[in-house]
């Protein structure tokens, strides 16, 4: 059977990814270098993700707020020494006016000091925390914001690397080290719950190695997911910043005994990049496949309008069916149903919704109406068109959605298991796996903390993705020195 | 009785406004000129507003999406001639990198052509529409985005005028003039429903006079509200753009007959400015007063913890009461209740929540627990502390919330009526009202369309707020020429 996309995953993964996005109408490049337009279907998926994440962020005691998009250069400067490693590809605002000169708009009103469009908000939020926190009574302070951030990208890719992206960034301050560490882990678990539970992307939670930490952090925790080309994608990170940022920004408080201490801070973020992860985890050669909890529509009904005589009757039957379906619940919400009345052929419509990843496409023609049946395609088995009575379909819908949910998750997990090699013993074996054998996927091997490892990995285009929480407890050898080492790490190529 | 704020509305409205914001902890100025930090309580109010508006925007068939924050200068240039009047105070990005030079961060990587931080998105969305719309089948196209925008402010005021603000901007394209006009009016009605229905701010809907239109629009519709200093605040605008923007951006389509036409477009926006309107409409000399539908918490319970012996019992009773209250519904949602366990005195806590505008502050001490009662303050009558049984309070809560909702609306409407003078006959009378008599508020008088009116009004610091939909049908005289005129207009000082 011919596939709906022209490019297959197995042939050219990068081109396939672009085609999935284009055919599902999720997003497109804009005229501004590296900035994307998120189109309605893509944005509705993002809104579902936002809603789920936002609920958990609030349930865990965080308040949403909003900080300015601009960061004064001097403030950046204050942290610059501290966060040496931080990417400095940032958008710099130098003027605050346009004037017309010889019929052309030109910048005018040069600022005394440039402003940076936020690449992340540690500095500006840290400055506010320093003002707001005076006593232990003001702690913990647990803030979150949904915002756009800008990091200039020389090699942009839709959702994965864009100069502007949308995200949430959480920033918290605590009186004690333990409490801040607990917060860091709690928020990673929040990410894991949403990414695995709603997006159905299997992840491996763990800690980053020293060189992969967020610059300035004492520890970075991460959930790592495997895409269908075997590469890793970091699907959420949570940073324990120790007192480093608190000292740079002077976030201090009077403790119960009257002494003054620096707070311990954390930060954590998840972005529109996750939509890229969703696409690369679940899509197939017929386009996007959406886990039901992320789908803007669960069911699209395509009425087959053969002639004027039956037209009204079929449309009415479609609306009646939609209403019955909307009375069902899935994931604690009414089932989302659309009747597609656009001016196009049923086959075109069916394929459009398949490529958009809708869980169920239902066709309903005059004969179906007469017989009380529907013709049904579930996104994980599009070759298998089924005929059900309307009653059967309505009654089974939520079970079927749950089944599809499980199928997508299990397929992703099976892929990861099939592409994971455990316990590689030496750097030579690692090289052989990734280079000689053309292997992909994740490899577990030992990690001793020897800083020499990063350069060696760099030559292979590999990084350490994380030191998984779940450790084997076995003993092995450091890949650099051959000395005994016990910590398991995951090695992979990454997005 | 002494008031909770130091400044009274009647003494210094501008200072009072600042104090309401500070004491309710809504927002503050940041280190970046004109940019504000929206703090958790202020942001939660904004989220309530967003949620209500977003629901209606979706129910009326619009899709959310997201367009880049940067607009290429050349694109701006294309519309520049067209939108001559448009404010050109914009943030201009000229570099894309920071480098460290002699220990200092300095801008580097000059862009070939500058980028503008969007002041509004007509240009960039228009460019996309031109690409997306090919045939009448693609129409109507009804988009909305929630975004931050930047218009450099020389004289910023929290919420009212900030260099960066948050808003939604709707942009639609239609095949016919009539459909676009209908859309323009529909979205004004959506604004009116939220601003009057949820924010309880009375408004006067109408059309702007020619000189007050959005630059480039064929018509601007507005809802105008009166603040407690008698000045007008534009609480939402909806623009019928005719084919003006469609021609500039070349948004054209093949119609059913095979011809090619330019689309008719609209745009409409509402911003964080509405929070300023909320504050200035409902607050009193004791701080913010929140209409219940906008309140982040409906009830705050302050446990009175006199001694260790009764501490646990009181806290448990407070939590039990909170749970019972949360099982009640208001405005189609569970009642929002907080138990305030912060380390502070009950009186301080009570006043803090009064100043934050919470509808009900409930105090609960050991004697209340024993007697099954609560001591209650409703925000519109804080001098009147009431004692109710817990059962009474739980049973009456939703009625009381509705009552408060009505009280706030009626007070605002009464204020407007008391400060509105109808049918002023001449410019001399208008001058007398606003200058000689020190009058404020709204004045209705005739408007003939004579362009001479704007300069004359400018001298008095007045503008025409709108030509209300509701017209008296009387005949009168043009304020400029004295010629007969029939159209009523509202004249006022405005924010």
pLDDT at A1: 62
Region A400-428: mean pLDDT is: 97
pLDDT tops 90 at residue B154: no
pLDDT at B1: 62
Region B185-213: mean pLDDT is: 97
Chain centre distance of CA A471: 25
User: Which residues, including other chains, have CB under 8 Å from residue B20's CB and lie 6 or more apart?
Assistant: B5, B26, B279, B283, B287, B288, B355
Q: Per CATH, which fold does B420-492 belong to? A: Translation Initiation Factor IF3 (3.30.110)
pLDDT tops 90 at residue B165: yes
Angle at B363 between CA B357 and CA B366, to 5 degrees: 170
* Number of other residues whose CB lies within 10 A of the CB of residue A401: 23
Looking at chain B, which residues constitute the CATH 3.40.50.800 domain(s)? 297-406
B38 in A contact zone (CB under 8 Å): yes
Angle at B215 between CA B210 and CA B217, to 5 degrees: 70
d(CA A99, CA B175) in angstroms, rounded, equals 35
pLDDT at B82: 61
pLDDT at A88: 83
- Of the candidates A68, A91, A137, the beta carbon closest to that of B35 is on A68
Q: How far is A224 from chain B (nearest CA, A)?
A: 27
- Tell me the chain B residues in contact with residue A96 when contact means C-beta distances shorter than 8 Å: 89-92, 152
pLDDT tops 70 at residue B62: yes
**Model confidence over A321-340: pLDDT tens digits?**
999 999 999 999 999 999 99
Q: What phi and psi values does residue B440 have, to the nearest 5 degrees? A: -130, -160
* Kind of pairing between the strands at A299-303 and A264-271: unpaired
Q: What is the DSSP letter of A365?
A: -
pLDDT at B215: 87
**C-alpha atoms less than 13 angstroms from C-alpha of B418 in its C-beta half-sphere:** 10
Q: What phi and psi values does residue B458 have, to the nearest 5 degrees? A: -55, -40
pLDDT tops 80 at residue B80: no
Cα torsion B403, B409, B414, B415: sign: positive
d(CA B19, CA B7) in angstroms, rounded, equals 7
Q: What share of chain B is helix, strand, coil (3-state, %, to 5)?
A: 35, 30, 30
* Kind of pairing between the strands at B420-424 and B442-447: parallel
Q: Per CATH, which fold does A292-407 belong to? A: Rossmann fold (3.40.50)
Looking at chain B, which residues constitute the CATH 3.30.110.30 domain(s)? 420-492
- Tell me the chain B residues in contact with residue A155 when contact means C-beta distances shorter than 8 Å: none
> What percent of chain B has pLDDT above 90?
90
A150 in B contact zone (CB under 8 Å): yes
Query: Looking at domain A13-93+119-282, which of 3.40.630.30, 3.90.1150.150, 3.30.930.10, 3.50.50.60 is its CATH number?
Result: 3.30.930.10
* Kind of pairing between the strands at A260-262 and A252-254: antiparallel
CB pair distance less than 8 Å for B105 and A75: no
Read off the pLDDT band of A85 (50, 70, 90). low
Looking at chain A, which residues constitute the CATH 3.40.50.800 domain(s)? 292-407
Q: Could you tell me how many CB contacts below 8 A there are between chain A and chain B? A: 183
Cα torsion A181, A183, A188, A189: sign: positive
CATH fourth-level superfamily of B297-406: Anticodon-binding domain (3.40.50.800)
Region A352-357: mean pLDDT is: 98
B165 in A contact zone (CB under 8 Å): no
A294 in B contact zone (CB under 8 Å): no
User: Which residues, including other chains, have CB under 8 Å from residue A209's CB and lie 6 or more apart?
Assistant: A447, A449, A453, A464, A466, A467, A489
Region B455-466: mean pLDDT is: 95
Closest CA to A47 of B198, B63, B294, B272: B63
**Cβ distance B78 to B157 under 8 Å?**
no
A80 in B contact zone (CB under 8 Å): yes
* Kind of pairing between the strands at A463-468 and A104-117: unpaired
Sequence length of chain B is: 495
- Tell me the chain A residues in contact with residue B40 when contact means C-beta distances shorter than 8 Å: 63-65, 143
d(CA B205, CA A317) in angstroms, rounded, equals 40
pTM of the model: 0.97
Read off the pLDDT band of B276 (50, 70, 90). very high
pLDDT tops 70 at residue A87: no
Strand positions, DSSP E, B231-294: 232-240, 252-254, 260-262, 264-271
- Tell me the chain B residues in contact with residue A89 when contact means C-beta distances shorter than 8 Å: 96-97, 109
Instruction: Considering the domain delimited by B13-92+118-282, tell me its CATH architecture.
Output: 2-Layer Sandwich (3.30)
- Of the candidates A115, A137, A166, the beta carbon closest to that of B32 is on A115
Chain centre distance of CA A121: 19
Scan for tokens 């943030």, then name that residue: B91
Q: Is the peptide bond before A418 cis (omega within 30 degrees of 0)?
A: no
């Amino acid at each position: 059977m011919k596939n709906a996309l022209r490019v297959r995953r197995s042939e050219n993964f990068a081109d396939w990814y672009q085609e999935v996005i284009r055919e599902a109408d999720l997003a497109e490049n804009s005229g501004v270098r590296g900035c994307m337009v998120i189109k309605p279907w893509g944005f509705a998926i993002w809104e579902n993700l936002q809603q789920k994440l936002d609920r958990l962020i609030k349930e865990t005691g965080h308040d949403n707020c909003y900080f300015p998009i601009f960061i004064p250069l001097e403030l950046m400067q204050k942290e610059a020494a501290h966060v040496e490693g931080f990417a400095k590809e940032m958008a710099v605002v130098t003027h605050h006016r346009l004037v017309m000169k010889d019929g052309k708009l030109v910048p005018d009103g040069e600022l005394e000091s440039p402003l940076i469009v936020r690449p992340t908000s540690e500095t500006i939020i840290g400055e506010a925390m320093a003002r707001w926190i005076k006593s232990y009574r003001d702690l913990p302070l647990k803030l979150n914001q949904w915002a756009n951030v800008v990091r200039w990208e020389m090699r942009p890719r839709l959702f994965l690397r864009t100069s502007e992206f949308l995200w949430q960034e959480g920033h918290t301050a605590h009186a004690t080290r333990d409490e801040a560490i607990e917060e860091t882990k709690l928020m990673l678990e929040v990410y894991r719950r949403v990414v695995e539970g709603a997006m159905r992307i299997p992840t491996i939670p763990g800690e980053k190695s020293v060189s992969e930490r967020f610059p300035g952090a004492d520890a970075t925790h991460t959930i790592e997911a495997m895409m269908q080309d075997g590469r890793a994608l970091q699907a959420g990170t949570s940073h324990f910043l120790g007192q480093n940022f608190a000292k740079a920004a002077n976030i201090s408080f009077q403790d119960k005994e009257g002494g003054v201490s620096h707070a311990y801070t954390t930060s954590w973020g998840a972005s529109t990049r996750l939509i890229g992860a969703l696409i690369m985890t679940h899509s197939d050669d017929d386009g996007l496949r959406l886990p039901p909890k992320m789908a803007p529509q669960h069911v699209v009904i395509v009425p087959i309008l053969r002639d004027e005589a039956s037209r009204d009757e079929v449309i009415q039957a479609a609306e009646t069916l939609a209403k019955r379906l909307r009375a069902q619940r899935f994931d604690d919400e009414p089932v989302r149903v659309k009747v597609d009345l656009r001016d196009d052929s049923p086959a075109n419509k069916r394929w459009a919704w398949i490529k958009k990843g809708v869980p169920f496409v239902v066709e309903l023609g005059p004969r179906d109406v007469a017989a009380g049946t529907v013709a049904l395609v579930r996104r994980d088995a599009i070759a298998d068109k089924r005929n059900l009575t309307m009653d059967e379909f309505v009654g089974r819908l939520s079970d079927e959605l749950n089944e599809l949910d499980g199928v997508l998750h299990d397929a992703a997990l099976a892929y990861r298991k099939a592409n994971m090699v455990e316990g590689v013993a030496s750097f030579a074996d690692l090289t052989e796996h990734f280079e000689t054998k053309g292997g992909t996927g994740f490899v577990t091997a030992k990690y001793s903390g020897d800083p020499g490892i990063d350069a060696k990995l760099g030559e292979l285009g590999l990084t350490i993705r994380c030191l998984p929480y779940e450790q084997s407890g076995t003993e092995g050898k450091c890949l650099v020195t051959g000395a005994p080492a016990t910590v398991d790490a995951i090695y992979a190529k990454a997005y």
